[in-house]
Amino acid sequence: MGALGATEQRSGKLAGRTALVTGGGRGIGRGVSERLARDGARVAVHYGGDEEAARKTVAAIESAGGSAFPLRQELGGPGDAAALWAEFDRLTDGAGLDILVNNAGIGTAAPFAEISEQEYERLFAVNTKAPFFLAQEGLSRLRDGGRIINVSSGLSRAAVMPELIAYAMTKGALDVFTRDLSKTLGPRGITVNSVAPGIIDTDGTSAMLRASDEAWAAAAAHAALGRVGEPREVADVVSFLASDDSRWITGAWIDVTGGSLP
């Protein structure tokens, strides 16, 4: 397959740029994919298993006049990052990358006393190891002046939901990765930042949020703004960090929790 999409035909603050959004077909990832495409970027919509969701996201982007393509690869295992980039190169004819959004992640509801070693290792493999090696393997594709944006969590800074201790630990490690990698890549003009959502209304959280009116009200009460967040509100911040407007921001942790932290 040849290079996908003609960048010169698009307009917007990200026109002419190529972005990869991991987990880009659902939830926050879909919101980010659609927003970056609306801003003019050609977007690789990565997915691990839900091909239908990724293709629906690509179709929505294209119907709105944007450019996107699906990219499948499981994450967290040996060689997964290299395999993803090999497929990316094939689909783009080696055109390179400007924006990497490490959004793909998994969660757990198992509390400290019950989480298994296998589940713990899988959490770190997908949430922490995968972004590390995607960035490492992607450096030869990422152009100078590029952007790496990691999707963290408000739970990495506050014990709001201590039952999610292992998940929060993966995001805490991701924050350290963001901070230190920003120093490593600074000489190339590449910025590295984290965005930290709170409770967001997605297909992944829908069952919990909509279990009852009380469940929704309790989730909304976490935020100082008094409601549950939406994917587009995280996507707007990612879009800012992907743009030239954020050129003097790197190594930062951006609170996108609606004021949910103590």
Q: How far apart are CA 229 and CA 222, in angstroms?
A: 11
158 within 8 A of 261, measured Cβ to Cβ: yes
Q: How far apart are CA 112 and CA 210, in angstroms?
A: 25
62 within 8 A of 68, measured Cβ to Cβ: yes
Read off the tokens for 92.
């783009």
Report residue 211: phi and psi, to 5°.
-60, -30
Choose, from 47, 69, 85, 167, the residue flagged as catalytic.
167
Q: How many CB atoms lie within 10 A of CB 114?
A: 10
Q: Is 120 a catalytic residue?
A: no
* CB burial of residue 248 (10 Å; 0-12, 13-18, 19+): exposed
Read off the tokens for 103.
């959004």
Residues tagged active-site: 167
